[in-house]
Amino acid sequence: MQLQENISLKPYHTFNTQVTAKLFAAFSSFEQMQELLEYTTNSLLILGGGSNILFTKNFDGLVVKNELKGIELVKEDDEFYYVKAAAGEVWHQLVLYCINNHYQGIENLSLIPGCVGASPIQNIGAYGVEVKDIFYALEAYHIKEKKIVQFSLADCAFGYRESVFKGKYKNQFVILNVTFRLNKKPTYHISYGAIEAALQKMKITTLSAKAISDAVIQIRSSKLPNPAELPNAGSFFKNPIISSVQFEELKKVHPTLNGYNEHNQSKKISAAWLIEQSGWKGYRKNDVGCHSKQALVLINYGNATGKEIVDLSKAIITDVQNKFGITLQREVNII
């Protein structure tokens, strides 16, 4: 473990903006983490893969990168396997490990960038499955009280791209490991989006977790930009949830608007559609832009600053608000 001063954070986050951290270190053991947290508990940022972060200025504090490793089967019963993964494991590696061992239910979450430790923070989700659906428990370190706390599913208060770790416990815990509950008997989710069409295109007739994973990887690769080529942080905004009444009013004016039942009285609508209809899809000015295949993704084409990316997001929010009366909420963590 080495504490570095004034280092560039460009390689440590997928938006690749040029910012520095006053202090930076990676830890690969619990003891190293405790030692690092002695330096400061205030101006502190816990970093995983940096795939959901946008830095708008140099970080005047300590950035600690979680590199805790290890995946193990901790128990099993008639129905489930319980798999515990350390926070610094790469998410997609965990998905592949589970698929190879026939631990099922995680396959729809293939190819989401980042680490295991961040997965409960925004309750990552894709193709009809969210982390909450396979979550069993997690262990987190309370930074100020210096103690390990166990969280159950109910404790995490998961919602759409939400959890207690983005809410009342924001910046208070380091997630150390997460235990997932995976199915022994398959219950596949293929009704979402283009999964069935992708399976057909791939000529897959026998359904399996591996086949679903391959289909999801194929769909994602066809529209989401690879951050190594076009730096980005995935969806920049959340899909808005509006009342059914507002949805019906909008639908009268915009017949192509689609909505999915969220709760009894509300619908989730596509932020990408709102942004596209507002004319931003494929937009580019200097090094900042809106992806041509997925309007929810903002791109750094080279030397964009965090401020330029935030300014673009503000312009998009204003236009969508003026056209549809809906205020988009950002999904990415702005630092």
Of 114 and 259, the one with the shorter C-beta distance to ligand FAD is 114
Quick one: which segment of 73-81, 113-121, 194-202, 242-250 binds ligand FAD (CB under 6 A)? 113-121
**Count of helices and strands (H, E) across the chain:** 8, 19
* CB atoms inside a 10 Å sphere around CB 40: 14
Quick one: which segment of 23-31, 170-178, 192-200, 314-322 binds ligand FAD (CB under 6 A)? 170-178
For the CB of residue 295, give the shortest distance to ligand EPU in the complex, in Å: 4
**In the sheet that 259-263 helps form, which strands lie side by side, from edge to edge?**
241-243, 266-269, 259-263
* CB atoms inside a 10 Å sphere around CB 314: 11
* Residue 52 binding ligand FAD, by CB under 6 A: yes
Could you give the string, one character per residue 202-241, with x where binding to ligand EPU holds by CB under 6 A and - elsewhere?
Answer: --------------------------------xx--xx--
* Residue 114 binding ligand FAD, by CB under 6 A: yes
> Rounded distance, CA 51 to CA 303, Å?
17
> Rounded distance, CA 71 to CA 229, Å?
30
* Residue 296 binding ligand EPU, by CB under 6 A: yes
Q: What DSSP designation does 51 have?
A: T
* Residue 121 binding ligand FAD, by CB under 6 A: yes
Calculate helix-pair angle for 209-223, 91-100, nearest 10 degrees. 150
The answer to whether residue 278 is catalytic is no
Q: Which residue in the block uniquely carries the two structure tokens 């997925």? A: 294
The answer to whether residue 161 is catalytic is yes
**Straight-line distance from the first to the last Cα atom of the chain, in angstroms, rounded to the nearest whole number:** 25
Which one is catalytic: 51, 163, 235, 278? Answer: 235
Site of interaction with ligand FAD (CB under 6 A): 14, 45-53, 66, 87, 112-115, 117-119, 121-122, 124-126, 173-175, 224, 227, 232-234, 333
Residues with catalytic function: 161, 235, 331
